Structure 1
Amino acid sequence: MIKNKINLSLVTAMMITTCSYAGTVTAPNSIDIKLSGDIELKAVSEKTDSEKISKRTAEVNLNLDATLKNGIKVFTTFKAFDGTQGQTTAGAENTDDGFKTKIAYAVIPLMKGNGKIVAGLTPMITYGTDAFDDGGEAWQGAVSIPVAKGVKVTVVSKVLNEEEVDSNKGDSGANAIRVDTKINNIMIGAKYANGYKNKADGFTGAEATTELKSKVFMTYVTGRIAGLNVGFEYARKDITKVGANAMQQFKDIQVGYFTSVEKEIGKFTTGLSYLNLSKGMKGGDDFKVGLILDGNIDSSVTKDTTAFVVPIKYKINDKFTTNITLIKAEVLEESTKEIDLGLTYAMDENVEMKIETGKYMHKNSTNDQTNMQLAVAIKF
């Protein structure tokens, strides 16, 4: 099941749970259809030295998955959400903004199920630790085949954006090849991609119409070693910006790496992770550092970003779990700290409630921030 997050008021959450449904339907022609979904409801308060913001948002995901008798699987997710989240421009009013098809793709087995073809509007496929994933859905075609015992090769071509049908104006996408292998409890992989973006962000001395090309190399290691959960990922992007005048070319090399270790000790789970971003590299869209310092952190051409993170989780009993996260970071070479506290209550296997608070302390005290959020997660 594709898990997506949704936000709403607590009262609305309780109303939704009274009419949820889950199940599997078997059609006469032996097509198995599964209907499911998941929701996360949030009320958020953000307070800085200059303002206080309270907000509630809502998203609902409905998954409709089918398995055909020839082994082909079709996955579809429809997403409904608060219209203000779907506005593509400030003040936009579009009735379609509150609903969209999030994913719609097919998985076709090859080589007696050892390989596969994936085609359609696919979700973000997590790579390695997900520290540097770009996130989002994309139109994609991919072929994955085994080349040796435990070794798999995947070739991918995807379109991230297409503004005009009859031209490449505003188009962006990538072509990539990746190799993954499993050795005991360890996964190791590497990926090389060529990315493109037409009419990219402008740069000094260039005309408005530009082109951006990138060569991306990523490698990762994840798994369990000597009772420790470990993760490592390295990413490098060689980026070339080309203006309307071919003589206008600028090159950047962005680099990032992430490493983590985690250990379970009785009811406690703790660990340490380290993130380093340089030359403009960004953290992954779905990579969560803290409640306030999230995956949108980045670096600049001249200023790096680093972060040490210590998560501590304690399972009180089958219903309650508490957690604390300590963060020491240099964001664009400016010192910051963050402390997050959370309490999770598992009402049952389908409903979970969580309250979190975070305090973000910046070198410049006027940039301090305090957040609190109440979330209700529902699976059906």
Structure 2
Amino acid sequence: MPDPTVEDSIRRHLAQVMDPELRLPITQLGMVGDVAVDGEGVADVTVKLTIAACPKQQTITDDVTAAAVRAEGVSTARVHLDVMTPEERARLKEDLRGEGGKINHFAQPDSLTRVYAVASGKGGVGKSSVTVNLACAMAADGLKVGIVDADVHGFSVPGLMGITDTPTRLDEMILPPVAHGVKTISIGMFVEGNQAVAWRGPMLHRAVEQFLTDVHFGDLDVLLLDLPPGTGDIAISVAQLLPGSELLVVTTPQAAASGIAERAGGLSTQTEQRVAGVIENMAPMVLPDGSSLDLFGSGGGQVVADRLTEDLGAEVPLLGSVPLDMDLRSAGDAGDPVVLSAPESPAGSALREIASALAHRPRGIADRSLPFGPA
């Protein structure tokens, strides 16, 4: 006869198993079906996948098996995979989306997610590398972080993150892949090979809008958007779709780059976005003998910060300077961000300090409704 005490113990252990895509307990998601234990301690656990072709089914099977055998009285565990019914899937989507259904939750007045749009005046300044490393550093610090690769024509985030998985579709809802603890979405996950994306304004706007409404990120502490260089369609669309977003302006020390970066920050006067600060990338490299190599000059980041402070009439700080570093380049090529693979390297240390400063900035509650009322 099955022992209900052992079965209850198994379910308690299964409550610690997180769905690898939704990052919520499988018991909370309604994925655990029948649980039975025979007299010899062999447990049979049924798990209901969200879709039959779930790409993470082996991970789920391994995690459930490991959790079940930790329960007292269980010697081995067998996992039986099933699939949710359309009704169960519909209830799950409703629970995930909450009230309001298919909306851009990051644009709601009561959203507590800090949204940073990482911008640059020109390409080639390392904006995507900065985005990826800031996100991974924040996630490593315990925050819930997401990335939207909004550089539709020049997407590079999947490669920098080492992501090869494709998003999972739950009917019209998209579950983003998770790498290094960061939920990430990019148009590069939907095209074949190295195919070019030849889209114009309206389609670009729609793509970003779908990333913010159809993709289920869940509750995030921080969302970073990797914008394309310049002040074109997507930069304007992001400002419209995410009115509370703040700009992070990335530049190199070179005068030509810093002058163009100033324009990217100056766009905020038209979009009514706040500029959170300037990040100087490719700053002087420290050589083994202690000297420095100013390959792209020096001081350009501070120049941009000072000019934006004067132009905008509000302080725009230089958040940090990231030195030229071979570790940063090799980590990006390997899809293993430098803040994780070489955290003590010059670039890794600088990026972690910037991420920490951004993550721990005080969050204002002006114009936000609080979750209580007068007694």
TM-score (norm 1): 0.24
Work out which structure has the larger RCO, using CA pairs closer than 8 Å and 6 or more positions apart in sequence. Answer: 2
TM-score (norm 2): 0.24
More helix by share: 2
